[in-house]
């Protein structure tokens, strides 16, 4: 019997909650099924992806049941769980890809940057990283032989000592969302703000823009904030249900396709974050996507007319542009957005980079 040509690939990440990295790994499992054996390891207990990952052929390992938080990252028990798993299992993988922050910190402190089969990476602008995490990436990032980072961000991290020979352009294919049971919203126009409940994701700013938008759409518009975390909890207290503000908080959802397909569009006001999966999936779905222009990727999409630019200093003007786009959206415009997205974002090369 010939030995299997399949490689054993392991992704280790902080959690399986909402996130573009998690969606990328799910799509990788689908695309590489039968070509690689994939194990996905989550340090913390946040989970909306494990069932779908297993359905896509992956082995899923949850190291703890603790919820992801900065306090949980610093908890010695979290590091201990990572250390024990890694020491017992690392030898059985051909490739190990470290994703997100706690994973990078733990592996780096263990000296795993020495291994040629281990890669690290980032998917956000430098300004999004807390200072302690920036310090760890500055200390250890340069030692990894493979470091995945969008080419759009290479200059942003030039001060970290990352070398051209170690950098690989992190590309993010787009999940094509579809639904036979789209969500029904309580207004003619419905927008989503999606992401973890941290201030950097800009949910509070999305609410401020939404309030301007309500005035231009005669109140016939709703905002749904999808995600979990302290910044979202604070908004829940400020805008409790039944107060007539048309703002809802479903938390993390495992039927995001239904929510997106039923919505008019996306409001994305994250700080220091260029194009992400929320933007890409919204454009591919033909939705009206409004975003702050945090990087060259967003600026390029705005210049092509694929997203509506949000100016933080002019929310009234931004709301006027968004209201105009929402009320004039047609099937032909939605099809144009879909065709354009397929031309911009490709799948094959992004996944093969991890082979």
Cβ atoms of 141 and 153 within 8 Å: the answer is no
Average pLDDT for 22-36? 86
Three-state secondary-structure class, residue 293 = coil
190-206 pLDDT per residue, tens: 999 999 898 989 999 99
Any idea which of 6-15, 30-39, 183-192 has the lowest mean pLDDT? 30-39
Supply angle C-alpha 164, 272, 325, rounded to 5: 120
Rounded-to-integer distance, Cα 107 and Cα 140, Å: 10
Q: How confident is the model at residue 138 (pLDDT cuts 50, 70, 90)?
A: very high
Cα radius of gyration rounded to whole Å, the chain: 20
Q: Which residue is listed with tokens 């300004």?
A: 127
Q: Measured on CA atoms in the order 252, 338, 181, 328, is the torsion positive or negative?
A: positive
Distance set, CA 335 to CA 74, 287, 298 (Å): 47, 10, 20
Structure tokens, 82? 């990572």
Rounded-to-integer distance, Cα 152 and Cα 344, Å: 14
What was the pLDDT predicted at 80? 97
Q: Which residue is listed with tokens 């099924």?
A: 33
Across the chain, mean pLDDT equals 91
Alpha-carbon torsion angle 208, 209, 214, 217, nearest 10: 180
Average pLDDT for 105-121? 95
Cβ atoms of 20 and 173 within 8 Å: the answer is no
Q: Would the pLDDT of 339 be above 70?
A: yes
pTM: 0.71
What was the pLDDT predicted at 292? 96
């Amino acid at each position: 019997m010939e030995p299997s040509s399949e490689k054993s690939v392991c992704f280790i990440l902080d959690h399986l909650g909402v996130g573009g990295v998690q969606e990328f790994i799910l799509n990788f499992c689908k695309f590489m099924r039968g070509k690689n054996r994939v194990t996905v390891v989550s340090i913390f207990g946040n989970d909306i992806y494990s069932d779908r990952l297993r359905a896509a052929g992956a082995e899923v390992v949850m190291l703890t049941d603790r919820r992801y938080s900065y306090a949980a990252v610093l908890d010695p028990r979290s590091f201990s769980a990572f250390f024990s798993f890694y020491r017992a299992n690392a030898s059985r993988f051909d490739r190990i890809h470290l994703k997100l922050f706690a994973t990078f910190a733990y592996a780096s402190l263990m000296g795993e940057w020495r291994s040629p089969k281990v890669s690290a990476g980032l998917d956000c602008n430098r300004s999004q990283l807390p200072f302690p995490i920036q310090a760890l990436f500055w200390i250890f990032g340069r030692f990894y032989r493979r470091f995945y980072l969008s080419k759009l961000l290479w200059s942003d991290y030039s001060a970290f000592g990352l070398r051209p020979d170690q950098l690989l352009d992190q590309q993010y294919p787009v999940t094509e969302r579809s639904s036979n049971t789209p969500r029904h919203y309580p207004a003619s126009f419905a927008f989503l703000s999606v992401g973890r409940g941290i201030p950097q994701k800009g949910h509070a700013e999305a609410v401020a823009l939404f309030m301007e938008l309500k005035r231009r759409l005669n109140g016939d518009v709703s905002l749904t904030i999808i995600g979990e975390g302290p910044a979202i909890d604070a908004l829940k207290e400020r805008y409790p249900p039944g107060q007539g503000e048309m703002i809802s908080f479903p938390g993390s959802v495992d039927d995001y396709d239904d929510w997106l397909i039923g919505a008019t569009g996306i409001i994305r006001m994250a700080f220091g974050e260029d194009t992400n999966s929320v933007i890409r999936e919204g454009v591919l779905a033909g939705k009206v996507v409004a975003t702050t222009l945090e990087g060259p990727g967003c600026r390029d999409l705005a210049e092509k007319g694929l997203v509506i630019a949000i100016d933080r200093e002019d929310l009234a003007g931004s709301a006027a542009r968004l209201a105009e786009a929402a009320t004039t959206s047609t099937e032909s415009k939605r099809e144009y957005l879909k065709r354009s997205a397929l031309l911009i974002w490709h799948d094959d090369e992004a996944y093969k980079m991890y082979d």
